[in-house]
Structure 1
């Protein structure tokens, strides 16, 4: 009964039109003094025809309602299994539904991809953050937890937490980038100052030749890249030190060089892959393969480039090409 009432409401324009025609014909018959029997016969025949048409339409209306009502709980299972609409408007609705279903499936696929990507990251990140925690636990058991070690390991934990936040933001950099004029020398000094304890503790030297350059970039993200390079340089350099200077042949290119253990030739081609640690990472059991991957992604997003040269036993050089946005300070 509810469906029938709803059908009548949906057909109210057609019913009002029919009643209007009845009224018009009634007035016309009356003005021309046509016998009422003729009018009643015409009314009876038209009503009978209308009843038949209405019954057929209501049957289709009810069948369509039952069909759609049964698919409400599993719309996505029935979108592709549909018949061509009987009217132009139905075809338009079906095309719109097909487009929405396609968009829905794409969003679900993208959501699954991002979720899988995050799960991979969390797995690697959880392994990485266990290292400073294990060091702290070991030093406590051996009663060797001095102030310097505590400060270093807590700093590492803080850096790993910051890396996690940066990784999450990396998927939304279109709203996170804030481009401004950055003094490269000041940025380098601020970054190196944060790692002064590590240089002193590991007895590493540090040399910095001022570049006198500025860059139009995002300070937070560019500093993140420099930090990741310094972390790797400190981690894999046991003696000697680290140098930061501009490329003599191209003043718009920044070089961060260390005298560390270097990178094997077979590893150099894959160092920017997510999760790839290579021989050094496996040997030291401290690498997650995320720092350089994220650095490469950030540099690409900023319009800069990064590449690495290295020689086993002699050290590694990281080249940051900022030429797209650099200009000389007056």
Structure 2
């Protein structure tokens, strides 16, 4: 009751003031005191009745709001009809906030489901190089090079899962600067050198003289994923890295691997899509290219793939952009 009176004290004070003013005016005009008191009492009774009815309405509304608050999942559809324009606006605001809440909960639920699926697949994948390394260590004459290759695969899987988590909020982690593309490429080549040697694949790279406005870490991650895929699906032949002659500021990574089916090409950047190659290659998660597409979009670069089944794949990294894009 006290909370209600705090919200209506101005109205009650106004009624009392009007009653007192009316009684005072009538008294000054020599109206007998008795009818003045009747008028005052009548006004007070009417005002009290109005306040009582309003209080009952207030109580029901308050009870309804408390019930809605206590019941998880209840939306604004359960609110009473607005009494005036202000309440209507408040309910519209509540409706918008509720829609955003539901959307955020759906996104969080979807992300948790996707994350669970990814981790489940990732755990099964990372067991393979760990088991292989354990078997190599049990041999009478362990081969350090082969063990290092298996440890490198573990590092790649860890790097992928970290990249997957960081891309959910990578905007705060991007640092644009002028990057020498040749140094970035050579760093990734050096990283995968032992895999090239182990698979006896040749590398064709003569260096490039290109400066790119980008984030060195994230572009390096993308190039590493592209090289990792090329090495995974190339059994023999070579991998070539060069600048496109047909389109400026475009880096091409070309392999002589198993290629990608034409019907799978439009979907290779979708999350979780593995296509025909993924079904043949049980280690594929369908996350690598999805991350590449997402990162390149954040960096305002382009990425596309051309491929022919059985003949190889070309990945085009379109790195051209204007400096004004930063501002």
Would the TM-score normalized by the shorter structure come out above 0.5? yes
Paired residue for 2:21, among 19, 24, 29? 24
2:83 aligned residue? 86
How far off is 1:265 after superposition?
A: 4.3
Are residue 290 (structure 1) and residue 284 (structure 2) matched? no
* Structure having greater relative contact order (Cα 8 Å, sep ≥ 6): 1
Give the equivalent residue in structure 2 for 1:199: 196
- Of 299, 303, 307, 2:304 maps to 307
| Correspondence for 2:251 among 234, 250, 254 | 254
The alpha-carbon deviation at position 212 of structure 1 amounts to: 0.9
The correspondence for 2:56, drawn from 59, 77, 95, is 59
Aligned to 1:122: 119
Q: Deviation digits for residues 179-237 of structure 1, max 9, x if unmatched?
A: 21111111101111111222223333222122211111121111111111111222233
What RMSD in Å do the two structures reach over aligned CA positions?
A: 2.6
- Please say if residues 211 and 251 of structure 1, whose CA atoms lie closer than 8 Å, have aligned partners that are also in contact: no
CA contact (8 A) 2:179 2:214 kept: yes
Name the SS of the counterpart of 2:249 in structure 1.
strand
Alignment-derived partner of residue 213 in structure 1: 210
Structure 1 counterpart of 2:40: 43
Is 1:152 the counterpart of 2:149? The answer is yes
Question: Which residue of structure 2 aligns with residue 177 of structure 1?
Answer: 174
Question: Matches of 1:304 and 1:269 in 2, distance apart?
Answer: 18
Query: Which 5+ residue runs of structure 1 have no aligned equivalent?
Result: none
The more displaced of 5-14 and 160-169 is 5-14
Uncovered stretches (5+) of structure 2, i.e. residues with no partner: none
Give me the whole-angstrom Cα distance separating, in 2, the residues matched to 1:268 and 1:24.
85
How many residues end up aligned between the 2 structures?
Answer: 323
How far residue 29 of structure 1 moved from its aligned partner, in angstroms, is 4.4
1:313 to partner: Cα distance: 4.6
Asked if structure 2 preserves the Cα contact closer than 8 Å seen for 1:132 and 1:154, the reply is yes
Residue aligned with 1:319, SS:
strand
Distance 1:131 1:296 in 2: 27
Cα offset, 1:267, TM superposition: 4.2
Q: Structure 1's 29 and 100: CA in aligned 2 closer, same or farther, altered over 3 A?
A: same
CA distance in 1, matches of 2:85, 2:250: 62
TM-score (norm 2): 0.87
Please tell me whether the aligned partners of residues 182 and 216 of structure 1 are also in contact (alpha carbons under 8 angstroms): yes
Distance 1:258 1:203 in 2: 14
Cross-structure match for 1:70 = 67
Change (3 A) 1:66 1:240: closer
Partners in 1 of 2:50 and 2:204 — Cα distance? Answer: 93
The TM-score with structure 1 as length reference comes to: 0.86
